[in-house]
Amino acid sequence: MHYMLLIYHGDPRGAVSDATIAEYMTEIGAYNEEMKGSGHFIMTGGLATPDTATCVRQRNGKTSITDGPFAETKEFLGGFYVIEARDLNDALKVAGGLPMTRFGTVEVRPLNHLES
């Protein structure tokens, strides 16, 4: 079964040193390789910060495009993984090993279907 792991965290810009970010990225890369070896890994991606987002809405037949989102929040969606897991417990175990759990939140959701 496929699961999406949604990575939520605060804005790291200016909060940590470049050396700390480099160490963190090395740790993430190592865990990615571990997931590939175990057959869990399907794909991952990081997102730019929310201030780069553009929102598209359609209401009453009219499309509007705005900068945003404008949510008052300390954590935002920063990236994702799509994994293969036997069941929810297996997915939770994989999510629990992500380095991001130490600094943010990882939301685990089953995917209804996956297309590529």
Q: What domains lie within the chain, and their CATH numbers?
A: 2-48+74-110 (3.30.70.1060)
Q: Could you check whether the bond before residue 69 is cis, i.e. omega within 30 degrees of 0?
A: yes
Residue 93 CB contacts under 8 Å (≥ 6 apart), including other chains: none
- Whether 38 has a pLDDT exceeding 90, the answer reads yes
> Residue 79's beta-bridge partner residues?
7, 46
Amino acid at 89: N
The pLDDT tens digits for 59-97 are 999 999 998 766 667 788 999 999 999 999 999 999 999
pLDDT at 4: 97
Nearest by Cα to 77 from 47, 108, 102, 43? 47
Instruction: Please state the pTM of the whole predicted model.
Output: 0.86
